[in-house]
Amino acid sequence: MKSKILFSALLSVSFGLAMGLTGNISHFKVAFAQEQSSDSQSTTTTSKQNLEQDIRRAEKLQPRIKSYAQLSQNRVNRSLKMAKSLVNSDSATQTQLDTVDLLLSSSMENQNLVKKTKTHYSAVPVGKTWRDTQGAPIQAHGGGFLKQTDKHGNPIYYWVGEDKNHNKSSFNGINLYSSHDLLNWTYRETVIAPSLTNTSLLGNKIERPKLLYNKKTHKYVIWGHWEDQSNYSSSQICVATSNSATGKYTFEGHWRPGSDATHRNWRIRTLADGTRQVEDSNGSIINGATPDEMNNNPSIWGYSSRDFTLYQDGNDAYLITSGGKNMMIFKLNDDFTDVDTNSMKPYTLFDNYREAPAMIHSGKYYFLITSSQTGWYPNQASYSYTTNIADPNSWTKPSSSSPQLLGNNTAFYSQSTNIMQVGNKKTPEYLYLGDRWDANALGSSTYVWLPLSISNQNSGNPSMNLQYNPNWKLNTSTNKITNNQDLLLSQGKPASTDATQSSDSSLALNNANDGKYTQDSGYFKPLTGNGQTVKMPFSYTVDLQRAYNLSRVDISFNNGGNTSYYPAYKVYTSNDNKTWKLAADGSNNQNVGFTSDKLSGKARYVKVTVSQFNTYGTNTPANAAAGIDEFQVYGQK
């Protein structure tokens, strides 16, 4: 993202908060779209110099292209083929030339040209780069998952997701991977790829793809969130179908759910001067159509749909989608290629800007995890539940008396994309599958997969619980989770600080190790001697009351919800509270809200010193927001 665009967005947010505004001010993804605003289709003069230069670079790679991982090969070869076709076209627009050149040039960047290296995992690398079986970083963000049985009768899993290797939100392909153990994933194919022959697959975005299998039609069906690359105004779903999971997919088109059959394959494009126009699939203006008119006529144009998930319940399937303020639920038709508003009337589940839905059925309840809307930045997740998806009045939603919060104040720096059942039918277990988005380099975004506990799912008071545990493993022979969680040593132990403590109990020192780290649980706010302003730098120390063999420290820092912060910090250990050893250096940290660092050796005291709090994106000081929500030290006796 261009820093100027994000800076303006963040200034707007800060101003809105200062003025007490409460509207939806959080969707920073729009800023990413604005940097890619399209030129007018009437551009008459074009420059092919950059594309021609990158074609020559790609051609020089060809003698050794097979030494690279298959994903790297496919990106280069696909983009090169498109580039050669386009550079010889007299009708190519500058936007087309620049779009294809971005795909080609990014495919040849060092981090994307990965030599074939056999890679094997025994555990999920939580929040770390996860590589496929040939060594290429897995590019399957916002992913969807499908479990089936292979020809030998063994379980096989498929994972579809966004390829963000070009570090943009624009469309770069939907990749499909397969695995027999959920740990080691083989890249199979880019099942939906940019195309010069399909106008819906160039100059667009496709996000959060999901994969279903329809037993009736024997078809695999991929859904995605479709937009023009210049904005998030089209707010549509797209659908592709195939006879096999890894086979060739037919792109069926894009539209808003609930639209009539004639209002499809259109887009809202932002022009260079900032105006928006509605275009058909040929790029022609649709006379009389405006974004406002579309939003006010859902029976014709359909309902806005952005972040979404699909949930299959036997022979039925459902679309849960956020259209901005409202999150709605639709039932799919029999072949899973569209919604069916006749068999079940769609309804609004939330009207308070929720997104990132993920659903699972456990016991007699259907559970739905969602997040707030803060763009690419993390926030507090929460859950809702019902016994009947079709009944809008049956849901138990978060409330002030029962907030139903999940994980810490940033969902451990992640956003939900799916929930997977493992184990077996008699004793099922669950995994939370999330994305850790890197807003500054989307291709470097990682994955946060953690064991998810569900309790009392057959009673009247069900609950979900998510704890951070980078040491968990999946037993591939039994499909059961082994937690391997070390002892939590710091909770409730004596703590001290070089700052002044607040008289406000919600900002008191003991909040930092009381076992509560959700957004509403209070935090420790370090103050200067006058008790009015934040002290920076500051330190926080916990006395474990005896020496332990330490393994890691997790810190939930204060996070602003609509505005995200990252701290610069260092962690020290000591046996006498006098002589300190540097144990972890987060001076260059840019993780938002949550950090986890390995510790080693034996110590009684653990201290964190925080030297700076910064606003993510602008990198400007935000010391007034500094604080620690929870400080957790793990180890063994």
- Give the model confidence (pLDDT) of 449-470 as tens digits: 999 999 999 998 999 999 999 9
- In angstroms, the first-to-last Cα distance of the chain is 47
Question: Residue 33: which H helix or E strand, with range?
Answer: helix 29-34
pLDDT (average), residues 305-312: 98
Q: Which pLDDT score is estimated for 46?
A: 77
Q: Taking the model in full, what pTM does it have?
A: 0.92
Query: So what CATH class is 488-636?
Result: mainly beta
Q: How many CB atoms lie within 10 A of CB 503?
A: 9
What backbone torsions phi and psi does residue 259 show, to the nearest 5 degrees?
-75, 160
Q: Which pLDDT score is estimated for 425?
A: 85
Q: Which pLDDT score is estimated for 585?
A: 98
Q: Which two tokens stand for residue 96?
A: 């087309």
Kindly tell me the burial class for residue 167, based on how many C-beta atoms sit within 10 Å of its own C-beta (0-12, 13-18, 19 or more).
buried
Q: Where does the pLDDT of residue 563 fall: very low under 50, low under 70, confident under 90, or very high at 90 and above?
A: confident
Closest-CA residue to 515 (of 553, 549, 488): 488
Kindly report, residue by residue over 45-92, the tens digit of the pLDDT. 679 999 999 999 999 999 999 999 999 999 999 999 999 999 999 999
Kindly report, residue by residue over 518-528, the tens digit of the pLDDT. 998 999 999 99
pLDDT (average), residues 174-191: 97
Q: How many CB atoms lie within 10 A of CB 170?
A: 23
The domain over range 141-485 is classified in CATH as 3.40.50.12160: no
pLDDT of residue 187 exceeding 70, the answer is yes
What amino acid occupies position 580?
W
Cα–Cα dist 546/614, whole Å: 35
Q: Which DSSP state fits 40?
A: P
Cα–Cα dist 417/321, whole Å: 12
Kindly report, residue by residue over 371-426, the tens digit of the pLDDT. 999 989 999 999 999 999 999 999 999 999 999 999 999 999 999 999 999 988 88
Question: How far is the CA of 342 from the CAs of 316, 330, 332, in angstroms?
Answer: 14, 10, 10
Cα–Cα dist 133/219, whole Å: 27
Q: Distance of alpha carbon 142 from its chain centroid, rounded? A: 5
pLDDT of residue 3 exceeding 80, the answer is no
Cβ pair 527, 623 in contact under 8 A: no
**Residue 499 half-sphere exposure toward CB, CA atoms < 13 A:** 30
Share of the chain above pLDDT 90, in %: 86
**Structural domain spans, the chain:** 1-25, 141-485, 488-636
Kindly report, residue by residue over 565-619, the tens digit of the pLDDT. 999 999 999 999 999 999 999 999 999 999 999 999 999 999 999 999 999 888 8
